[in-house]
Structure 1
Amino acid sequence: MSQRALGIAAGLDPSVASTRMNRYEVGVHAPAYSISCRLAEVLEVPVAYLYCDDDELAEFILSFHRAGTKVRREVKKLLGSAG
């Protein structure tokens, strides 16, 4: 999906969608949280994934998000006993 298409799908004005998405991607500007929520919804990822600055943790967040209920429960149990 192009930056423009992503921006439009998230509700940005089509005339500025590409530019704004590029500025978000390169860090010139940060999107408002409400825009981040819409981007996450379009991308089908949790919004926390977009804010994570650790690649390994980001992958864990994404994997946990996509996991079924049973796996989530087992991971929570495992992590609860790791403390």
Structure 2
Amino acid sequence: MTTFGKRLKEARKAAGYSQERLGIDAGIEPASASARMNQYEKGVHEPGESTVQQIAAVLNLPAAYFYCEDDGEAHLLQCFHCLKKDDRKQVIDLAESLAFNH
């Protein structure tokens, strides 16, 4: 299983979607939605950038989340994505102070 496939499966299940429903909601043709999502999760095929963006939008995740190999980084992206603009700035400021002042 690819990193993309692993993240996709985890995010889909956490959001309570079936493969078919996620595919349809992401704009994939209903007749092939389930099969395509299954192939993406198994790493048989990789979706194009626009499809990744559509899947990410449905799951309320940043597209970069699906490519993070490290679980902690993926979780941080997921959390950051849900923050309001002002809160994001605070997180960035804190991260910079921790990363560059030690």
* TM-score between the two structures when normalised by the length of structure 2: 0.75
In the alignment, is residue 26 of structure 1 matched against residue 42 of structure 2? yes
Percent of residue pairs bearing the same amino acid type: 46
- Cα deviation for residue 68 of structure 1 reads 2.8
Q: Which has the higher contact order (CA 8 A, sep 6+)?
A: 2
Alpha-carbon RMSD across the aligned residues, in angstroms, is 1.1
Q: Which structure 1 residue ranges, 5 or more long, are not aligned?
A: none
Alignment of 1:4-83 (within 5 A): 4-81=20-97, 82-83=99-100
Q: How many angstroms apart in 2 are the aligned matches of 1:49 and 1:18?
A: 21
Q: 2 CA distance for matches of 1:5 and 1:37?
A: 16
Aligned-partner Cα distance in 2 for 1:35–1:44 = 14
Give, as a single letter, the amino acid of the residue that structure 1 aligns with 2:26: A
TM-score, reference length from structure 1:
0.91
Tell me how many residue pairs correspond in the alignment. Answer: 83
Runs of 4+ in 1 over 4 A off after TM superposition: none
Q: State the 1:29 CA deviation.
A: 0.8
User: Unaligned 5+ residue runs, structure 2?
Assistant: 1-16
